[in-house]
Amino acid sequence: MKYLKQAVYSIVLISLVVFPLTAFSAPKAKDKIVVGMSRPLSGWMAQIGDSAFRPVYETWVKEVNAQGGIFVKAYNKKLPIELKIYDDKSDVGTMTRLTEKLILQDKVDFLWPACGTAFLFAQAPIANKYNKILLSAEGGATSIRDMIASLPYLFIPLSFSDWYQLPVLADLLADKGAKTAYIISMADLFGIEYTGVAGIELPKKGINIVGMKSVPPDIKDLSSILKEAQATKADALLVLAYPDAVILATKQCMELGYNPKVFLGGPGVNFGFYHAIFGPATDGVLGFSMASKKTSPAMKTLFEKLYKGKPEAVHDYWGHPLYWAALEFWKQAIEKAGTLDNKKIRDVMAKETFNTILGPTRFVKGFLDKESHTGEIGQWQKGEFEVVGPKNKATAPMIYPKPNWPAPKPEKK
């Protein structure tokens, strides 16, 4: 035994001489931060992905890399960001497989999100399983609140139904004297959630829901449902669905000469492509929003940065400010943690407040704090998507009732 101990000591001593102690503790050399994403580059979600998070991350990464990247103390240098993106074809199953591939095979340093609420529900447990921070983008859900305690690596910047869009909408409608509403919703998690929250928040303010219809995401004709809604003479028509259905509802309302006092569509109305399609006819249409060009000088600068020289179709007044702020927040968390260790960065993100495009910004139990929000409800007014609620963050007063759509063209004889 004596000789065995001497042999072990000798091996350890030789190792320390040949490999200095620092070699065991210092991180391996690194020349970039690899961020992996499974995104809808094709399929039915591609339009949302291309108009929502994509313009933000493409602009933001280019800007950060032009500055040399993100400073990471553990490496004592700035590291540029490299994106590794797969096409999930707008399919949840494909997205989950690609997410695990990014983590296990590609060994990316960080995950950035898939697109959509249902995708968020599927991706968050995977990220949490492997202790990877998941900073979400186009997705938010009240129902995930019940799970958030078990998903400490999930951070959700996007506002959603009761965080605090529909409570603010109910306040605005009640303040204007609306008494009744008809709801068309998409038959998926998004539609179910928003309808459920509307069913709570609107009656609280004395607004009676006089009709409700759920429709498939790929519906091609809403005319019969719109005629039913028109017959109720409801003050407000809420189309709680994705852009294709919102655009279809708008077109067919015009064709039918159906002019409710309030038309809210979302997501969809908040994008520039909605205004590009309907032009001045968008006046008075409501949607979900976070900021307008008037919110702050910094926000105006951001919009110019994102949109100058680009088609109006890429504008987004709901998600873009939030996604940009989230990336600013994430970068500062890495710099403060001084490492690429996801657990240490997660701990910083969970407790710190950083200044972003929104002002002082923080997350509370995984959700962007209400006080960090710069708006909830927007309205098209003369070509600008203004914040109209809550009132203390509005950039313009709400127009009520909405101006009528252009008169339908007479049928050719």
| Contacts with 242 (C-beta within 8 Å, 6 or more apart), sequence order | 48, 186, 190, 217, 267, 268
**What is the predicted pLDDT for the residue at 2?**
47
Asked whether 154 and 124 are in contact (CB, 8 A), the reply is yes
**What is the predicted pLDDT for the residue at 9?**
46
Asked whether 260 and 252 are in contact (CB, 8 A), the reply is no
Other beta carbons within 10 angstroms of residue 406's beta carbon come to: 12
**What is the predicted pLDDT for the residue at 189?**
83
**What is the predicted pLDDT for the residue at 407?**
83
**What is the predicted pLDDT for the residue at 190?**
86
**What is the predicted pLDDT for the residue at 26?**
55
Residue 214 DSSP SS3: strand
Dist. CA 27–CA 337, nearest whole Å? 14
**What is the predicted pLDDT for the residue at 117?**
83
Asked whether 181 and 237 are in contact (CB, 8 A), the reply is yes
**What is the predicted pLDDT for the residue at 411?**
65
User: pLDDT tens track of the chain, all 413 residues?
Assistant: 444 445 444 544 444 444 444 444 556 789 999 999 999 999 988 988 988 999 999 999 999 999 999 999 999 999 999 999 999 999 999 999 999 999 999 999 999 999 988 899 999 999 999 999 999 999 877 778 888 999 999 999 999 999 999 999 999 999 999 999 999 999 988 899 999 999 999 999 999 999 999 999 889 999 999 999 999 999 999 999 989 999 999 999 999 999 999 999 989 999 999 999 999 999 999 999 999 999 999 999 999 999 999 899 889 999 999 999 999 999 999 999 999 999 999 999 999 999 999 999 999 999 999 999 999 999 999 999 999 999 999 999 999 999 999 887 766 65
Instruction: Output the six-digit token pair for 289.
Output: 């929003």
**What is the predicted pLDDT for the residue at 297?**
97
Dist. CA 139–CA 137, nearest whole Å? 6
Helix axes 223-232, 243-256, angle to 10 degrees: 60
Instruction: Output the six-digit token pair for 79.
Output: 């590291």
